[in-house]
Amino acid sequence: MAAFTLENIVRNNIKKLIPYSSARSEFEGEAQIFLDANENSLGSVLNNNFHRYPDPLQKKLKEKLSAVKQVAVENIFIGNGSDEAIDLLIRAFCNPGKDSIIICPPTYGMYEVSAEINDVAVKKVLLTSNFQLDIEAINEAIDDATKVIFVCSPNNPTGNLINNDSIIWLLKNFNGIVVIDEAYIDFTNKLSWSHLLNTFPNLVVLQTLSKAWGLAGLRIGFAFASKEIIQILNKIKPPYNISESVQQLAQQALQNETLAKEKTNILVQQKERLIDDFKQFYFIQTIYPSDANFILIQVNNAATLYKYLLSKAIVVRNRSSQPLCENCLRITVGTPAENDDLITTLKKYSNEKNLC
Ligand SMILES: *Cc1c(COP(=O)(O)O)cnc(C)c1O
């Protein structure tokens, strides 16, 4: 395979694209009177300052994020959730009806959905039985049309980290984009792959405020990549993809890293406690190790247990339809009280099922 060059991999129409130039991006500086953007000069109907368009490149937010994540501002893209970054990556690099991505099920569902929306083919190379990458099979699946490989680590729904060696292999040998989705990285002690951006020009790392930072409702996700890749994402994103209110709240959030870490520690402790408690139940056959804030378990009958929990107002995720996940439920770690309730309910289920 030829070596990776961005030139070879960006779609031609994107290369040629002259991006929309917004009023806010054309004028940067100090002015008193803003008559350039057709905003409402009389102000907002709410008692705040949201009558102006937000900063299209979220400069202040990126500066805060840069300090927290140790990633240079020029290497940061901010999206309306990581889901926006996933979609933009596919659109930047994959020609509809022609190119393909590789995903490794069981894994996060949005890679496939985004590809399908964009009429991009999805090649599936299953994880091995211990939920690691099957590098030989991936190597065979790669062809000239393969532009992006998505790797989720820690993986959703299995919960495990993907081995360094296989990720390094991909970064070195695949001449397309390797996306490492680190939505759950903050629940591990592992260093982010973002520290290797200078070594691997084809590396894109995804992170989010939705999990460890407790801000799924804000819709803030990050892509960390080379300056050149970030420029492409900026070129094709909707100009004002992050609202002013969300930019402000996200900046506040990043000042509370200590609190995020405290919450993360509690969730990790609670996860260990749940794993211990699960061991007493005869109907739980496998408790998969987890580096995230959820646990995948294999039970004797996932549909029955799922319905039972729902009848007690507890909703978990039935992942049984995913390959390698037969009879598997994915359970998010709750508050200590919610976890107590879950275990009490599982005990009831255990007793009721033993009787009949
Ligand atoms: C939750 C999750 C995300 C987060 O997506 P957002 O759009 O940022 O909320 C991304 N990837 C994976 C694997 C996830 O589980």
What's the pLDDT tens digit per position in 206-230? 999 999 999 999 999 999 999 999 9
- How much is the pTM? 0.97
Q: What is the pLDDT of residue 355?
A: 57
- For residue 151, list its beta bridge partners: 180
With 0-12 / 13-18 / 19 or more C-beta atoms within 10 angstroms meaning exposed / middle / buried, residue 223 is buried
For ligand 1, atom 11: residue with the closest CA: 183
Ligand 1 atom closest to the Cα of residue 210 is 9
Q: What is the pLDDT of residue 319?
A: 98
* 18 CA to centre of ligand 1 in angstroms: 30
Beta strands at 317-318 and 328-332: parallel, antiparallel or unpaired = antiparallel
So what's the pLDDT on residue 48? 73
Pocket test for ligand 1, best of 80, 82, 182, 224 (most atoms within 8 A of CB): 82
The protein residue with its alpha carbon nearest to ligand 1, atom 5, reads 82
Whether 64 shows a pLDDT value over 90: the answer reads yes
Write out pLDDT tens, residues 288-306.
999 999 999 999 999 999 9
Mind listing the domains of the chain with CATH numbers?
Answer: 6-255 (3.40.640.10), 258-355 (3.90.1150.10)
Euclidean distance between CA atoms 98 and 288, whole angstroms: 37
Question: What's the CA-to-centroid distance between 160 and ligand 1, angstroms?
Answer: 15
183 CA to middle of ligand 1, Å?
5
Compute the distance between CA of residue 298 and CA of residue 302 in angstroms, rounded to an integer. Answer: 8
- CA atoms of 156 and 162, how far apart (whole Å): 11
Q: How many Cβ atoms are within 10 Å of 168's Cβ, its own excluded? A: 15
| CA–centroid distance, residue 207 to ligand 1 (Å) | 8
Residue 95 pLDDT:
98
Residue 198: both structure tokens together: 């200078």
Helices (H), 70-190: 82-93, 110-117, 135-141, 164-173
Can you give the pLDDT at residue 1? 61
Query: Which ligand 1 atom is nearest residue 84's CA?
Result: 7
**pLDDT attached to residue 356:** 52
Task: Calculate how far, in angstroms, residue 82's C-alpha sits from the geometric centre of ligand 1.
Answer: 6
Cα–Cα distance for residue pair 292/153, rounded to 1 Å:
9
Share of the chain above pLDDT 70, in %: 99
Q: Give residue 25's pLDDT.
A: 80
Distance of CA 79 from the midpoint of ligand 1 (Å): 12
Ligand 1 atom 10: residue of nearest CA: 183
- 210 Cα to the center of ligand 1, angstroms: 7
**What ligand 1 atom has the least distance to the C-alpha of 221?**
8
Ligand 1 pocket residues where CB is under 6 Å = 81-83, 108, 152, 156, 181, 183, 208, 210-211, 216, 221
Mean pLDDT of the chain: 96
Residue among 86, 108, 294 to mutate when testing ligand 1 (max atoms within 8 A of CB): 108
